[in-house]
Amino acid sequence: MLLDPARFVREIDGKPVALFTLRNSQGMTVCVTNYGAKIEQVLVSGRDGRFDDVVLGYDSIEGAIVGAASVGAFIGRYAGRIGNARFTLGGKEHVLAANNGPHCLHGGVKGSRFRVFDAVQRSDSSVEMRYVFADGEEGFPGALELRLTYSVTEANELVLDYEAAALDVPTVANLTTHAFFNLEGLEASGQLSGLGHEVTIFSSRYFEMTPELIATGELLPVAGTPFDLRKPVPLNSRVRTPQAMDGIAGYDDCFEIDRSAAGNGELALCARVSAPSSGRVMEVWSTEPTMQFYTGLVAGEPLAGGSGKGGRQYLQQQSLCFEPQGYPNAPNVPAFPSAVHEPGRSRRSRTLYRFSVD
């Protein structure tokens, strides 16, 4: 079941690429490549003691290159969409690379999803990665240094610690991870689907979006809407299926996390998801103020690119993404907390995925 590191050895853009395997003493194992800082495999135990893979990914560097770019990737320089691929900073308009219609998505045509990070494995359970976005890269002003550490803890947590620092002039950044989870397990689940999971999102407000999924600046109450996930909800009771045609098409929405129990800069519980068949439970904790929740909006539509692990064709709504991050489209919404990074003042964040069995 474990991915073969030899299949990830390659040089891209003059930099060495490898697969890094992280473990704890209980058997939890995570495989990460420094191409896009992508999470390719997460092995955790279910109710029956069986370890299974609970993330989408690829079993070779060739697969990761031609596959869906966001699968497992660490996203920068700006996660989500910046409307009309432009913003004004310091009185100057910056025009970005547009890769989602007229908008800039996940950092542009060649954001961090396509970049090779410098990587050093510090221990059996952690790896450090670094990438410097150049001034003008994808249209963004200024150089930005990103440092990222993946760790596996004895509490069966996958922890991401990351820090971003503007190196010369003010710039903007919004960072997240884009792992696609299915807690039933890729091999054990048969006909893979994410809609049998029960999901709780600890949020009282969600972001109003235009039809092109650009944040308008308004936050709306979740109460009385399909976005009220404050108590455990089976997704197949909200999302349309061939058997039940009422409901919404799916989720690709951003939620403001209720942080009343957490101080500024402290971890807050963003979401809890459980898979009834396997008994696996995952909690999402983060210092970030919002979280994008993604199932895909077109049931059964193939993800871009080639086949995933084991030759499997990945489809929308087979898996779920929980992406803690900053406020969407913040460079164009003055009312939102600023996404500006000033030189000499680095920003640190932590996101963790904690696994257990119900």
Phi, psi of 101 (to 5 degrees): 65, -130
The continuous run of DSSP H or E covering 121 comes out as strand 118-123
Q: Is 178 a catalytic residue?
A: yes
- Marked catalytic residue, from 138, 184, 198, 323: 323
> Alpha-carbon distance 349 to 335, whole Å?
22
- Marked catalytic residue, from 106, 178, 197, 341: 178
The residue type of 283 is: E
> Alpha-carbon distance 57 to 79, whole Å?
20
> Alpha-carbon distance 14 to 35, whole Å?
12
> Alpha-carbon distance 322 to 271, whole Å?
8
Q: Is 145 a catalytic residue?
A: no
Task: Give per-residue burial for 53-69: e unless 16+ CB within 10 Å, then b.
Answer: bbbbbbbbbebbbebbb
Q: Which residues contact 260 (CB under 8 A, 6 or more apart)?
A: none
> Alpha-carbon distance 250 to 293, whole Å?
10
SS3 of residue 341 by DSSP: strand
- The catalytic residue positions are 178, 323
